[in-house]
Chain A
Amino acid sequence: METKDKDSKMSGFLKIAIRNLLKGPTTDPYPFGPTFIPDKLRGKLKVNPKACTACGTCEEVCPSGAIHITKNENVYVHTTWYNTCCYCGNCEFFCPTGAIKLTNDFHTANTEAEKFKFVTVATIPEVKCEKCGEYFMAPSLELLKRAYPNVNESIERFLTLCPKCRQKEAFERLHK
């Protein structure tokens, strides 16, 4: 309360003015110099294709509909349009594997000519089964670590065998 009274008189601002003259300006030097960037800044998002399993959770929870997952032959294409993303972080919060994360890149100004090209694309290819040769969507290592407490070699067979072949192999191992 006391400081509020002091600053409302005229002499309060005179002290601030003299302090500004003696100590120099307090301006951030951007764009003529570097600026500080905090670590948790909500910038543009990035997808790690090795960890993503194209489950579609991020597409479901995005409030502005910026994420689209489509399938092109045997490859899932994960597209985000930055111009309608609202940088909320819902996708990062709900992603089960931690594949989609917000970086701290804040340079989002773009001209009208590149408005519809301001996207980021990640491709998640399907994996060919070792035994039968069919293409299937394999889980990633992060998903396995989240589902099973102890990821040993038999669980890692999830990564290379399609569900039918894996069932046959597990049956043989347990009942032979």
Chain B
Amino acid sequence: MSANIIHFLIFPGGLFALVLGVFMLSLERIVVAKLQGRVGPPIYQNFIDVIKLFNKEILIPKDAKECVFKYAPLIGFAGMLAMLYFLPVPGVYEGNGVNGDLILLIYVMALPAIAHILGGGASSSPYAAIAVNRELKLMLVYEMVFVVISFSVALYVGKGDAVFSLKKIMEYQQIHGSFLLDWKFWPAIIAFVIFVLATLELPPFQIAHHNDADVMDGFLIEHGSIPLAIYEMTDALKIVLLSAVFQIFFFPVAIADDVVLNLLWFIVKTTLFVMFFSLLHAILPSYRIDQAFKFLLIVPTTLSLITLVLVILSVKGLI
């Protein structure tokens, strides 16, 4: 019982993921700055940002729904924290898997966006209304991509019967070789990269949030100190969650039997993951909302459906 509480609060949930995630957020800023020819902030910058936000005054607009405004950020934060308790870390932590935690993952992935939408809608600002509109349109299409990728991985592991347990997906790859080297899954990896760009709201999908061209700060424009800090911490947890999901689906290789070495290997893989997305952030410009919707509807959906078809054909024995 007490081991479960430690797994929830300190490792790999709670404290470990929060600290790693906040470092990853400022690492992203540093890599983008170096690519643009500047010197970025120091590595502990986002820590100080979050601590400073707890010391400011909370201002609530007059026409806002107070209850929803103050408590909506907790939905996303609690969801991310709960999901990190279930995820296995390759070589270090077995995961507290019940048999259906892939389906739980699909639901929980959408929770931070729902928290953004509720919080933005409850503040009575026209900028927030436009940003919520755009976020909803994007959410429609990128959730579909993630569902199709998860189903193709689950079908392949179960050889026809879908296996929804993350622990079994990890163990299958540790025996049979990881999916990163399997040519049938390469379209799914490209689709997963596009999905991560869309869900973290990085360019080219930086339309609803931090878009300095029209909506300014998007749905967070009326939020003050403590709600804003909780949104930033949710963002930090989301980066760690996405990196862990990528490793479980495609590359859960542990390098040694030692727990500490495997933990360091996990951190190194997360750092490389975040650096790759910072490279894409620095290079690509941003789409308009109609271009983004069309792109997300056509390209990653097709790629993930190609992988699904290849997986079905290989399960039937035709490839």
Which residue of chain A is the closest to B35 with respect to CB atoms? Answer: A17
Which residue of chain A is the closest to B279 with respect to CB atoms? Answer: A17
Which residue of chain A is the closest to B36 with respect to CB atoms? Answer: A20
Number of A-B contacts (CB under 8 A): 27
Kindly list chain A residues whose C-beta atoms are within 8 Å of the C-beta of B38: 25-27
The answer to whether A17 and B39 have CB atoms under 8 Å apart is no
The answer to whether B284 and A17 have CB atoms under 8 Å apart is no
Query: CA–CA, A13 to B283, complex, Å?
Result: 6
Query: CA–CA, A21 to B284, complex, Å?
Result: 17
B262-303 Cβ-contact flags toward A at 8 Å (1 or 0): 000000000000000001001110000000000000000000
Query: CA–CA, A14 to B280, complex, Å?
Result: 10
Looking at the assembled complex, report how far the CB atom of A6 sits from the nearest CB atom of chain B, in whole angstroms. Answer: 15
Interface residues of B in 18-39 (CB under 8 A from A): 33-39
Looking at the assembled complex, report how far the CB atom of A20 sits from the nearest CB atom of chain B, in whole angstroms. Answer: 4
Query: CA–CA, A20 to B283, complex, Å?
Result: 12
The answer to whether A21 and B35 have CB atoms under 8 Å apart is yes
Kindly list chain A residues whose C-beta atoms are within 8 Å of the C-beta of B283: 10, 13-14, 17
The answer to whether B37 and A26 have CB atoms under 8 Å apart is yes
The answer to whether B35 and A25 have CB atoms under 8 Å apart is no
A24-62 Cβ-contact flags toward B at 8 Å (1 or 0): 011100000000000000000000000000000000000
Which residue of chain A is the closest to B284 with respect to CB atoms? Answer: A10
Interface residues of A in 1-21 (CB under 8 A from B): 10, 13-14, 16-17, 20-21
Query: CA–CA, A20 to B279, complex, Å?
Result: 12
Contact with B34, one of A10, A13, A16, A20 (Cβ below 8 angstroms): A20
The answer to whether A25 and B34 have CB atoms under 8 Å apart is yes
Query: CA–CA, A139 to B282, complex, Å?
Result: 65
B72-84 Cβ-contact flags toward A at 8 Å (1 or 0): 0000000000000
Looking at the assembled complex, report how far the CB atom of A18 sits from the nearest CB atom of chain B, in whole angstroms. Answer: 8
The answer to whether B284 and A25 have CB atoms under 8 Å apart is no
Query: CA–CA, A165 to B163, complex, Å?
Result: 115
Kindly list chain A residues whose C-beta atoms are within 8 Å of the C-beta of B35: 17, 20-21
Looking at the assembled complex, report how far the CB atom of B198 sits from the nearest CB atom of chain A, in whole angstroms. Answer: 18
Query: CA–CA, A27 to B37, complex, Å?
Result: 8
The answer to whether A21 and B34 have CB atoms under 8 Å apart is yes
Which residue of chain B is the closest to A16 with respect to CB atoms? Answer: B37
Kindly list chain A residues whose C-beta atoms are within 8 Å of the C-beta of B33: 25
Query: CA–CA, A26 to B34, complex, Å?
Result: 10
Kindly list chain A residues whose C-beta atoms are within 8 Å of the C-beta of B34: 20-21, 25
Query: CA–CA, A27 to B34, complex, Å?
Result: 11
Query: CA–CA, A81 to B117, complex, Å?
Result: 53
Query: CA–CA, A38 to B248, complex, Å?
Result: 58
Looking at the assembled complex, report how far the CB atom of A32 sits from the nearest CB atom of chain B, in whole angstroms. Answer: 10
Kindly list chain B residues whose C-beta atoms are within 8 Å of the C-beta of A21: 34-35
Which of B34, B37, B279 has most chain A Cβ within 10 Å? B37
Looking at the assembled complex, report how far the CB atom of B291 sits from the nearest CB atom of chain A, in whole angstroms. Answer: 15
Which residue of chain B is the closest to A26 with respect to CB atoms? Answer: B37
Kindly list chain B residues whose C-beta atoms are within 8 Å of the C-beta of A17: 35-36, 279, 282-283
The answer to whether B284 and A20 have CB atoms under 8 Å apart is no
Query: CA–CA, A14 to B283, complex, Å?
Result: 6
Looking at the assembled complex, report how far the CB atom of B27 sits from the nearest CB atom of chain A, in whole angstroms. Answer: 15
Which residue of chain B is the closest to A17 with respect to CB atoms? Answer: B35
Query: CA–CA, A16 to B284, complex, Å?
Result: 13
Looking at the assembled complex, report how far the CB atom of A147 sits from the nearest CB atom of chain B, in whole angstroms. Answer: 56
Residues of A within 8 A of B (CB): 10, 13-14, 16-17, 20-21, 25-27
Closest 4 CB pairs of A and B: A20-B37, A17-B35, A25-B39, A26-B37
User: Could you write out 18 A-B pairs with CB less than 8 Å apart?
Assistant: A10-B283, A10-B284, A13-B282, A14-B283, A16-B37, A17-B279, A17-B282, A17-B283, A20-B36, A20-B37, A21-B34, A25-B33, A25-B37, A25-B38, A25-B39, A26-B37, A26-B38, A27-B39
- Beyond contacts A25-B39, A27-B38: 4 other A-B pairs, Cβ-Cβ < 8 A, are A17-B283, A20-B35, A20-B36, A25-B34
